[in-house]
Structure 1
Amino acid sequence: MIIKKRSLSDFQATVSVSDDDESSGRLKMDMGTCYFPKDFDSNPESLGQDAHFICQERQAFGVADGVGGWARKGIDSGIFARELMSNYLASLRFKSCVRSSTACVVSLEGDRLCYANVGDSGFMVFRGKRLVYRSPTQQNYFNRPFSLGNWVGEGKRPVSVFLGEFDVEQGDVVVAGSDGVFDNLFGSEIEEILQESDGESWPQDLAWSIATVASMNSVSQEYDSPFAIAAESEGIEHVGGKIDDILPCSVMAATSS
């Protein structure tokens, strides 16, 4: 599999605010991201079904994964995910077509990460290059995550959002991503990537490294992936990684100047 870098402007929704709104906490987050749509090789113009935003001024970021099942009905749920990340509150009123998406939105409030999560997008926190926290996932059943949607039915509404907080320290690394990341990478593998990094090119290069390894694992038939292990525990046979869009967002907490 040949992996090519793409311009983040193809996928990233960047939100700007005035200096008066800038976060005033002790810590600040430096953020970077990388995105490999699963069908990029066959369709270089594809935007995939994942989306994200980074708002440096507000010290916030988010990832979303359009529910792939809509593709069987000819509906591109990636449109909803991108709309959701462009304006993750106002987009819930988007009515032109039924779609749905998982979502994880995180902000830094002082020394605390505050997050809202729906479904199986999420994040891990590493301290001293060791995993110390993972956000919980929400599933109806295996490989059927909770999702935000704009239709009446079984899709979970915002009342199902899991709200949480986690205290962070200087030097902590946060890796957020869609399920394409965490279905193809164990926390221990991200620890290894962190240990091999010199720390001087974070966070953008870290996101690239994570996306590259996850992408290689996703197409391997020899890799005993987190997704395969979870499937086996449910009595479902699955060999190797899980081919999916890969979207990690890496964040380093540093002392505010």
Structure 2
Amino acid sequence: MAREILRRSSGRAAFSRRTMSSSVAFPRPYTFHMGASWAGKVNGLSGVPNNPFPVDSAVGAWRDHMLARPKAANGKDPGQDFFYVQDMRNQSRLCIEGVSFGVADGVGGWLECGVDPSLFSQALMFHAHRYARNAWAGEPEIDPTLDYEEREEIEGWEMTPYECLDLAYGGVLREKFVQAGSSTACLITMNASSGVLRSANLGDSGYMIIRSNTILHRQPSQTHYFNCPKQLTKLPVNKGQRFPRACVDSPSEADTFRTKLGDGDIVIAYTDGLSDNVFSSEIVTICSLVSRHGGTEDQIVQAIADRLVDYARQCMKSKTRVSPFEREAARQGMFFRGGKPDDVTVVVGLVRETS
């Protein structure tokens, strides 16, 4: 079921960059182990992109690099979804300051207009990764034992997920290969010094934080109405083309959140291919079962991501099992039975305290 798109006004949000000073790499008390998995719609419903980014382009080369990540879940094509995982480092590259990651879901309603929705989501994640890699996950430390003159100014700035989203959206608007399209987005940073998580979410992608088999936080989805999420949009330059249902939401409308993480917390970012087919309690159960099997932290997070994707795809195929999407449709007075075929993308992070 293709989600609908709806016209609204938009406004870009402004922010200021801040450069900080530091010359010493301090040990970081938090480490983050990351895994990612993805699959296009079941039964090959995603189709082949009409005009994908060339493999020798910046976005195309990065896309193929991300898709080369090892995973065990069935399905190689992410469909209209995409994601990124990016370490955030200081200029000296001596240590990792944190990690930035996110997911995006290209809105399928554009297919009716001959637009490939995957181009927008891929470009959005590419530009988010590009800005995040040279930014701080939080305010960098300044060695108090150094004199002011000894403090070396570094490149980069403290950047929130909201600021990253705003920058990435601007990058897509300038991307000539993306003529039109729209996408939801969920961006997250985790700070290796403070353990602070910050997020920005626009639309019905989202994330949850699981602590000791309990959901500590689940990001609410943003929709205009049922099956029509808030979305960042690029309208075509050709004024003769009419898109009466096209939506143009602003990054300033994204919900932001901040919390302190602890040892053993699991953070799961996902597109609605997961949340429309798998209940929250089932996600918690899968995390618990996979963790009991043991293995290294990296193996555990990858196994959780793969298991969630495979289970979501199983649920999509069932017309007898009640799905979260079916329940929400019933609340809106609509009839829908079973799982909802869709692309599904999952990024999983495991938090460890090292000191």
Question: Structure 2 vs 1, CA of residues 114 and 45 (structure 1 numbering), >3 Å: closer, same or farther?
Answer: closer
Question: Structure 2 vs 1, CA of residues 138 and 30 (structure 1 numbering), >3 Å: closer, same or farther?
Answer: same
Where does residue 343 of structure 2 map in the other structure?
A: 245
Query: Any idea what the Cα deviations from partners look like across 1:120-151, whole Å, max 9, x if unmatched?
Result: 11101110122121012110000100001123
Query: Any idea what the Cα deviations from partners look like across 1:69-126, whole Å, max 9, x if unmatched?
Result: 1011121111110010011312243354111000000001322110011001110111
Where does residue 149 of structure 1 map in the other structure?
A: 233
Q: How does 1:31-42 map to 2 (within 5 A)?
A: 31-38=34-41, 41=44
Shift, 1:40, TM fit? 6.5
Shift, 1:156, TM fit? 0.3
Question: Structure 2 vs 1, CA of residues 183 and 232 (structure 1 numbering), >3 Å: closer, same or farther?
Answer: same
Question: Structure 2 vs 1, CA of residues 92 and 113 (structure 1 numbering), >3 Å: closer, same or farther?
Answer: farther
**Residue 124 (1) aligns with residue 208 (2):** yes
Q: How far apart, in 1, do the equivalents of 2:174 and 2:101 lie? A: 21
Task: Answer 1 or 2: which has greater strand percent.
Answer: 1
| Amino acid in the other structure paired with 1:143 | N
Q: How far apart, in 2, do the equivalents of 1:91 and 1:23 lie? A: 35
| Aligned mate of 1:93, from 174, 198, 206 | 174
Question: Structure 2 vs 1, CA of residues 75 and 254 (structure 1 numbering), >3 Å: closer, same or farther?
Answer: same
Where does residue 239 of structure 2 map in the other structure?
A: none
Shift, 1:202, TM fit? 1.3
TM-score (norm 2): 0.63
Where does residue 70 of structure 1 map in the other structure?
A: 110
SS state at 1:217 partner: helix
Question: Structure 2 vs 1, CA of residues 128 and 25 (structure 1 numbering), >3 Å: closer, same or farther?
Answer: same
Where does residue 4 of structure 1 map in the other structure?
A: none
| Amino acid in the other structure paired with 2:29 | R
SS state at 2:300 partner: coil
Q: How far apart, in 1, do the equivalents of 2:27 and 2:251 lie? A: 28
Unaligned runs of 5+ in 2: 1-22, 48-74, 89-97, 129-167, 237-245
Where does residue 15 of structure 1 map in the other structure?
A: none
Query: Any idea what the Cα deviations from partners look like across 1:169-209, whole Å, max 9, x if unmatched?
Result: 11000111000011111110011112212242311111000
Q: How far apart, in 2, do the equivalents of 1:133 and 1:160 lie? A: 20
SS state at 1:84 partner: helix
Where does residue 83 of structure 2 map in the other structure?
A: 52
Question: Structure 2 vs 1, CA of residues 160 and 203 (structure 1 numbering), >3 Å: closer, same or farther?
Answer: same
Identity %: 32
SS state at 2:344 partner: coil
Task: Tell whether the 8 Å contact from 2:40 to 2:79 is kept in structure 1 after alignment.
Answer: yes
Q: How far apart, in 2, do the equivalents of 1:92 and 1:130 lie? A: 40
Shift, 1:25, TM fit? 5.0
Task: Tell whether the 8 Å contact from 2:209 to 2:268 is kept in structure 1 after alignment.
Answer: yes
Unaligned runs of 5+ in 1: 1-19
Where does residue 6 of structure 1 map in the other structure?
A: none
Where does residue 254 of structure 1 map in the other structure?
A: 352
SS state at 2:282 partner: helix
Q: How far apart, in 2, do the equivalents of 1:62 and 1:138 lie? A: 16
Say how many residue pairs are matched: 238
Task: Tell whether the 8 Å contact from 1:139 to 1:146 is kept in structure 2 after alignment.
Answer: yes
| Aligned mate of 2:281, from 188, 208, 226 | 188
User: For structure 1, which segment, 137-146 or 40-49, has the greater mean C-alpha deviation from structure 2 after superposition?
Assistant: 40-49
Query: Any idea what the Cα deviations from partners look like across 1:21-64, whole Å, max 9, x if unmatched?
Result: x9975322211011111157476885410000001344110000
| Amino acid in the other structure paired with 2:81 | D
Where does residue 300 of structure 2 map in the other structure?
A: 202
| Aligned mate of 2:184, from 102, 119, 127 | 102
**Residue 217 (1) aligns with residue 315 (2):** yes
Q: Which runs of 4+ in 1 moved over 3 A?
A: 22-25, 39-47
Q: How far apart, in 1, do the equivalents of 2:253 and 2:202 lie? A: 7
User: For structure 1, which segment, 24-33 or 42-51, has the greater mean C-alpha deviation from structure 2 after superposition?
Assistant: 42-51
Question: Structure 2 vs 1, CA of residues 36 and 143 (structure 1 numbering), >3 Å: closer, same or farther?
Answer: same
**Residue 170 (1) aligns with residue 252 (2):** no
TM-score (norm 1): 0.85
